[in-house]
Structure 1
Amino acid sequence: MKQDIDIPKVEGVYVAIVNEYNDIYKTQDWNAYIINDNDDALEMVIIVTDGYSEDKITSKFRKKIDVLPKKSYAKIELMQEELFAVNNQFKVTYFKGNTMYDKVYTFRKNTINLKALQPVPLMEARGVLVK
């Protein structure tokens, strides 16, 4: 039964953690984003995030996005810097047309930092990107 389910390879969808200025609170914040660099919209996007290490597990955070238009991005959550000391997982499931896609994006502990910033597709920002 399970072997009969075909989940194709995810392409053109990324998760980035971006360091950006918060105009309201006048602070530098780290925010997680999902990026759709495809020519098709993503539907019913479900994202489950959590963090873990050998001795710690964070609580799970869930987010649903009804439609993520083509060539666009959406904020997932604000990331506290204390979370960078653990592995951070983003489990992303979505539909493109009638096909379901699923992928786990993992940011290894201590890899999210100012030295690791790079240009992020579709955003005029720099961040840590997992493809």
Structure 2
Amino acid sequence: MKKDIQIPKVEDVYVAVVNEYNDIYKTQDWNAYIINDKTVDLDVVLIVTNGYSKDKTTSVFRKKLDKLPAKSYAKIELMQEELFALNNQFKVTFFEGNTMYDKTFLFRKNTINLKALQPIPLMESKGILVK
């Protein structure tokens, strides 16, 4: 029974943590984004995030997007720098048509830093990207 369940591979959907300037508070902030680089819209996008290590676990954060249009992105959350010492995971579930997709994006501890910045697809920003 379980062997009959087929889970399709997630492609062209990413999670990025971007370092950007906040005009309101005049600070450099780290923000997590979900990116839809597909040519189709994603429906009912559910994101569950948390951070963890051997001896610490953060609370769970949940976010729902009714629709994430093709070739677009949406902010998930503001991230505090203290979290970068933990593994940060983003469990993403969404529908593309009538098919449900699911993937866990993992930022390993200490991989989110200014030295690791790279260009992010669809955004005019630099950050850390997990595919």
Q: Which band: TM-score by shorter chain?
A: over 0.9
Equivalent in the alignment of 2:33: 33
Identity, % of aligned positions? 79
* C-alpha deviation, 1:5, in angstroms: 2.0
Name the CA distance, whole Å, in 2 between partners of 1:76 and 1:6: 28
Name the CA distance, whole Å, in 2 between partners of 1:2 and 1:114: 43
Name the CA distance, whole Å, in 1 between partners of 2:48 and 2:6: 21
* C-alpha deviation, 1:4, in angstroms: 2.5
TM-score norm. by structure 2 comes to 0.98
For structure 1, the 5+ residue unaligned runs are none
Name the CA distance, whole Å, in 1 between partners of 2:34 and 2:77: 10
TM-score norm. by structure 1 comes to 0.98
The 5 A counterparts of 1:1-131 are 1-131=1-131
Give 4+ residue runs of structure 1 displaced > 4 Å after superposition. Answer: none
For structure 2, the 5+ residue unaligned runs are none
Name the CA distance, whole Å, in 2 between partners of 1:42 and 1:36: 8
Partner-residue secondary structure (3-state), 1:115: helix
State how many pairs are aligned. Answer: 131
Name the CA distance, whole Å, in 1 between partners of 2:56 and 2:12: 32
* C-alpha deviation, 1:112, in angstroms: 0.2
Q: Which amino acid aligns with 1:118?
A: Q
Q: Which amino acid aligns with 1:81?
A: E
CA RMSD of aligned residues (A): 0.6
Partner-residue secondary structure (3-state), 1:21: strand
